Structure 1
């Protein structure tokens, strides 16, 4: 009897030792990744494996900011970011704020790369809770985020499509995606065609690192969304800008009065600059400038006819 009790005691000690070892290992893993600021993950075990793969890949490709990896039949994207993503638009917006004190023109780029990545991961999760089509965030750290694959971006598709009607149908899908986004009381921040993708007939929203509502009202942010989207689409109009009028009507039929008022204000403020720029186009060979001029010009016409 005594020996039996002794055996049971040994078994109990072994179980406790195993449990303590597992607990210690789990704590070590948590400590290891908390120092790297692991903000969120879906499945801890699988995410740890993905993070290890991501770390190894980044060591081998230190200069890649966006990397695609095929992992066990699934495609994931590793996204990193340099300290600042200030573009010509952001620099121009900074200058305009001194001349035109309207919040719509305030720059919204996040200059700190860790804040930018954290903010994008948080916005992706927020959009997902609203039922909006966005990539799944597999994991996010202060150094990179890992997301699921959601197809080709619309800019790539627009360049591949040669049929006008097919291209217009693609733009309609993108416009409808923006309508749904705005009706959810959200904004994109930089909704160019390259910041949307298409997968299985659904338009997904990507690259959400900018959050305009931090410096302007939601209506102003949504108005800016539309203006930037029109500039992006104008690139593919090939002198036939009637497609912009068609897209405007789709949006106007579903837009809030506040957003339409903010869009009207923005377009009218830009109009004098547009008129001057239009005369400069012959001397300045800038496709971005031409797209902005044509987008604002068409919005001027559409808003003049609109009753919104």
Structure 2
């Protein structure tokens, strides 16, 4: 926990009030102070929920980010719950009315490893993260924003950040875990400079260890979203997100064909 002097340093700083997040080097170590954000409007959620309903894919439903005290309470609760079952996430060190303090896990995320590592480094980083997600699911938990940017590469393994929302508010555990895989694949597969065969082998190995319920939820998503693999590979036309979605849809479609 933090000393009274460290708390005084944090509370006297305008940085986290102005920018919401501020980094500190304190006697207890490197810390992240996270202030509260305003609530977001409902329109984006309504659009995404409409798409999820039309596509018949429950795990695509939007998860509300409440903002304010409620979002902070959600994040602190989720960080503590994940840590309690052995999932590596930042330690919560202090909670105040309008901010909380957590361990700084660093800034080297999976995106950095895939974009800069290349070759075997990138492959091993991706596999480490996939195993981390699977291990969390086997422990009966789930993430919130399971994107490559939120998976932090550490000397001792992998950690995750960003837990301001709770998918179980709008979906069941199976769909929340399937949602984790969709986010992970969408944000990482397009960055892997490897053969389709290598990805096929890894998806077969990793997903074969998932629960049958999660496998069925992913199969449903793969079937309903398969048409997205036909998007053009022209980044100028669709942008980075379009290319990322196309890659995930393509590889999930290939996975589904191998496992009818």
Asked if TM exceeds 0.5, the reply is yes
Q: Is the 8 A contact 1:230 1:244 kept in 2?
A: no
Distance 1:241 1:235 in 2: 11
Q: What 5-or-longer segments of structure 1 have no aligned partner?
A: 1-42
Q: 2:211 matched to 1:256?
A: yes
Cα offset for 1:63? 2.4
Q: Is the 8 A contact 2:48 2:60 kept in 1?
A: yes
Distance 2:41 2:246 in 1: 22
Q: 2:16 matched to 1:52?
A: no
Distance 1:89 1:168 in 2: 34
Q: Which residue, 97, 114, 126 being the options, matches 1:171? A: 126
Q: Which residue, 242, 254, 258 being the options, matches 1:301? A: 254
1:24-80, Cα deviation, whole Å (9 max, x unpaired): xxxxxxxxxxxxxxxxxxx4xx354333222112x2563222211101261001122
TM-score by length of 1: 0.75
Q: Is the 8 A contact 2:79 2:163 kept in 1?
A: yes
Q: CA distance change for structure 1 residues 170 and 85 in 2, over 3 Å: closer, same or farther?
A: farther
Q: 2:211 matched to 1:265?
A: no
Q: CA distance change for structure 1 residues 271 and 148 in 2, over 3 Å: closer, same or farther?
A: same
Q: Which residue, 70, 76, 80 being the options, matches 2:25? A: 70
What residue in structure 2 maps to residue 287 of structure 1?
240
Distance 2:99 2:75 in 1: 10
What residue in structure 1 maps to residue 163 of structure 2?
208
SS in 2 for 1:185: coil
Q: CA distance change for structure 1 residues 88 and 302 in 2, over 3 Å: closer, same or farther?
A: farther
Distance 2:40 2:26 in 1: 29
Q: What 5-or-longer segments of structure 2 have no aligned partner?
A: none
Distance 1:259 1:184 in 2: 14
Q: 2:88 matched to 1:133?
A: yes
Q: CA distance change for structure 1 residues 282 and 179 in 2, over 3 Å: closer, same or farther?
A: closer
Q: 2:108 matched to 1:155?
A: no
Moved more, 106-115 or 293-302: 106-115
SS in 2 for 1:77: strand
1:223-278, Cα deviation, whole Å (9 max, x unpaired): 11111100111231247444532431232231000000011111211223x156x1
SS in 2 for 1:132: coil
Q: Is the 8 A contact 2:94 2:101 kept in 1?
A: yes
Q: CA distance change for structure 1 residues 100 and 206 in 2, over 3 Å: closer, same or farther?
A: same
Aligned length: 259
Greater RCO structure (CA 8 Å; 6+ sep): 2
Distance 1:158 1:87 in 2: 34
SS in 2 for 1:63: helix
What residue in structure 1 maps to residue 75 of structure 2?
120
Cα offset for 1:91? 6.3
TM-score by length of 2: 0.88
Cα offset for 1:85? 5.8
Larger radius of gyration: 1
SS in 2 for 1:284: helix
What residue in structure 2 maps to residue 16 of structure 1?
none
Cα offset for 1:290? 1.1
Q: CA distance change for structure 1 residues 102 and 142 in 2, over 3 Å: closer, same or farther?
A: farther
Q: CA distance change for structure 1 residues 232 and 279 in 2, over 3 Å: closer, same or farther?
A: closer
Q: CA distance change for structure 1 residues 218 and 73 in 2, over 3 Å: closer, same or farther?
A: closer
